[in-house]
Structure 1
Amino acid sequence: MKNGRIPTALLCLLPLVFSYPLLKGRRNNTGTNLLSAPDPTYVPGTAERCTDEGFGAITLDDKGVMHYFRGDSTWTGFQGPTQNLSETWHGVSGPIDAAFRNYNEKRPLEHQRIYLFKDTQVWSYFEGKLLEGYPRLIGQAFPGIPDHLDAAVECHPGECRTDSVIFFKGDTVYIYSFHEEPAVKQRRWATLGTCSAAVRWLERYYCFNGINFTRFDPVTGQVLSPRPLDTRDYFVRCPGRGHGHAARKNATLLSIQDRCSNRSFEAFSSDDRSRTYAFRGGLYFRLDSNKDGWHAWPLKHTWSTLQGVVDAAFTFESRMYFIQGSQVTVYLSDQIYIPVAGYPKPMQEEWEVPGVTAVDAAFTCPHSSDLYLIKGKKLTLVDLNTRKRFGEDQTLIHAEVDSAMCNTHGLYLFHGPSFYHYKNVEELLSTVEAPAPGDTRSYFLDC
């Protein structure tokens, strides 16, 4: 067993604790919703964020911080105090009907801009400043989109067909595309119902109706939540509330889901779309998308059938491989992750590697069919095209490795809180002295 693993009984708790989004925190802020005394941020005479009114609009800003709107008030982040809307967002007064953060890399002057909608007008902000030319009529800024909206949310390519925005009005949605004709497609999503606010969070989409929210498919409008959940238990900190707060008091669980703790990671991997992950104790951290937060997630949040500790992970030809003990599981990784039928299967059945029944680490490098398996100081090479062992095993100068990852920046070997960087496999095998170690937490996890 690797250092840092936890008992199976504790792993069973994790999907309950981390199944829904928590808000982006700063360094060492795990986003947990612990029970607390009365809200210390509440100022008498101002609006209270934890009432059962819900919010009229929600959006992330260009820094990845969540903003909530209701009437003339706004709240920032997981536990920010009540602020006056017009003082925080200059040039606009409440109530706000809808809001979203634009995603449009092909149009840099529009990318990461924040849009606030009220009645017939729209305001646009970047880095907290109102942009020149705003407010504008909604029909001028977004031709074909109606006034008096209920909600809006951006949709990224790979999750929708192209960069687009989903506008909600009643049970009708207007899908506005920046790069297709016609620009607006109208749909009726009756099963989803009315959304008073909507937001995209870590590649998932949420519809808020009053204080409750549900997750939905941004292409079909299908409801993906088994039941509506209360916003105050997941998105904002409220005294006496919180999902799984008892389990979060467990120090072991907290250290596992805190990316900045001293616990080592069992695996690192970067897939064909440059999505980079760190795995620890049945959870994963997304490393390439910190604008969506630094929180730990259960594996099934992204890989629907995966659970337990991941020993190693790597990609090859739009497939992502996970090694757990002697078993291999494979997912297609073009856009979303789809499990490949017939898995998991034994490592010995997947590749001809006699004597290799478990690994400490595994990696592939970009545009290569070479798979490297590490067990102790032994490095085994497998040709993924033939699925056979290739050549003789090599001996590493590293006595122990927890995980490994190879990307366009080179090869990284991880052990405990440290990593060792090599230009490539050839440098690793030819060196007689390990390079100076780097700090994994500061370099990869912004701690």
Structure 2
Amino acid sequence: MVAAAAAKVPASPASPELGLLIMKLLAHILCLALALTISLSQGHEHEHEHGNGHEHEHEHEHASAAPDRCQGIEMDAVAVNEKGVPYFFKGDHLFKGFHGHAELSNESFSELDDHHHLGHVDAAFRMHNEENPSDHDHMFFFLDHMVFRYYKHKLEIGYPKNISEVFPGIPDHLDAAVECPNPECDHDSVIFFKGDEIYHYNIKTKAVDEKEFKSMPNCTSALRFMDHYYCFHGHMFSKFDPKTGEVHGRYPKEARDYFMRCSKFSEESEHVERERCSRVHLDAITSDDAGNMYAFRGHHFLHEDGANDTLTADTIENAFKELHSEVDAVFSYENHLYMIKDEHMFLYKVGEPHTHLDGYPKPVKEELGIEGPIDAAFVCEDHHIAHIIQGQTISEVDLKASPRVAHKEHSMHLFEKVDTAMCNAEGVTVIVGNHFYRFNSTELLVTETTLPEQHRVSMELFGCDH
């Protein structure tokens, strides 16, 4: 290339200026040629070290993009872990709980990726059998003709095994599976689904009883959650009787409305029913001086009118537009709502509509004398002390003091972490996941060593029928 360029240069320049210009041009061409030669040489070396690049391209082709649960996808399998947290499987990814991004399944269950000839997880369940500790709290995953058994995310010795070896009489390539303890089923059982074929497997005797669930659609995954049974089909679900397969009530319903936290819902979604019956944990809850309750979850909130006990649902964006969505904690004091989001506090005067006070948001540190993040906060009736929960620590802030300072820290032993809490005439209500617990006072919340009676948020706090 250099020689070709040189051949076009005139032999006798017409002037010294032209000769100088040509010499500069030649030098520039030589530099470009040298850079191209080095680049080609490095490219050959890289190709020699790493192959021709096709292996990497091939690997990239097989790495599936992370799914988005809010797009209305069909899950391959659903099961709860030993702490009751639902795991939703899709392809080679896994969703833990009701919100958050997908992660690769092999990050939690690495052995599932060791058998490349097997497909995705077809079915999964957690064994609920307290009488047999060797099986209790074990998680089972079914892939094609194999079954994997895990305990605390560790694969049990000898697994994977053929399904027929562990569950004789149960076919391969299942669609769904769910545990069914006695008396919810006639015996401690596992229900297996394959197309329209239903198998009740007796854990103790290993007998298989084939059933016919006429009123229920074919399940692509199934889940036992809070003593209820759910059949997922596509991105819809139906609640069913595990003994008969009967579906009662208005089903199917949209899974995203009840088992996932999504900013937008289907057009058919009934907002009040969805917020009352959603299994997604609450972000914040409070009760104001008039007995009105506000419960916040994601982009929406429920409001219960203290005068007539009616429930309404709205978006946070509409009623508290400065917040936009998702709050960390809320408490009520002197007809104002103190709303904490990240490191800032927003202050609203209760009314129709709620009025956002000028000068807010302000830093939480400035308003409460405490660093965030904050898990929950509440003020009891006729008091001026805000109780701030962070992890297992409860601090007190005197709201009449100036400046406000957090003091009197106490350790809370009954809960590792709470989602939210409120205080009203019924006492202190602490909410963890789908359950809540009542204490007659803050002192008992700190000093009690045994949990009080467990209640269900959806049914007993919001009056949901399931």
TM-score (norm 1): 0.48
Greater RCO (Cα-Cα under 8 Å, separation 6 or more): 1
* Higher share of residues assigned helix: 2
Larger radius of gyration: 2
Q: Normalising by structure 2, what TM-score?
A: 0.46
